[in-house]
Amino acid sequence: MVTPCTSGRHDHHDIYAAQCPCREVLDLLANKWSALAIGAMEEGPQRFGALQRRLEGVSPKVLTSTLRRLEDKGFVSRTIYPAVPLHVEYALTDLGRSVARPLAQLRLWVENHIDEIAQA
């Protein structure tokens, strides 16, 4: 049996249910590069190059796909300024600004507790 994602008239979603659309969204947000990219954009709209420099070690390929998926779900907007040289800005939407809070808490938790974490 597959647990349904919603139950009752209050449309309560269960992220533990395999079929829940929440799963797909969690998979997108609970991701190293998504968490870092959204954090970077909290400081204001960012250009592709700026994000690439900020998220040290990200390849352009992975950054592009991360931003595209965030855009598809409505967390990020992509604006092209056809100036020369080409100028593309990525910014958080209202939804993106909303999810930035819990993601920031997770990033801060890691920074604040790293010393307590036993390393191999």
Partner DNA sequence: GAAGTTACTTTCCTTTGGGAAGTAACTGCC
Partner DNA sequence: GGCAGTTACTTCCCAAAGGAAAGTAACTTC
Angle at Cα 39 formed by Cα 119 and Cα 60, nearest 5°?
A: 85
Smallest distance from the beta carbon of 91 to a second copy, in angstroms? Answer: 16
Which C-beta is closer to a second copy: that of 16 or that of 81?
A: 16
C-alpha to C-alpha distance for 51 and 36, rounded to whole angstroms = 9
Residue numbers 18-47 binding a second copy by CB under 8 A? 18, 20-23, 25-27, 29-32, 34-36, 39-40
Angle at Cα 37 formed by Cα 95 and Cα 52, nearest 5°?
A: 145
- Contacting residue, 4, 9, 10, 17, with a second copy by CB under 8 A: 17
Looking at 5-13, 30-38, 96-104, 111-119, which segment touches DNA (CB under 7 A)?
30-38
β pairing state of 12-13 and 6-7: antiparallel
Residue 107, C-beta contacts closer than 8 angstroms, at least 6 positions apart: 35, 36, 39
Residue numbers 48-67 binding DNA by CB under 7 A? 48-50, 57-62, 64-65
74 binds DNA (CB under 7 A): no
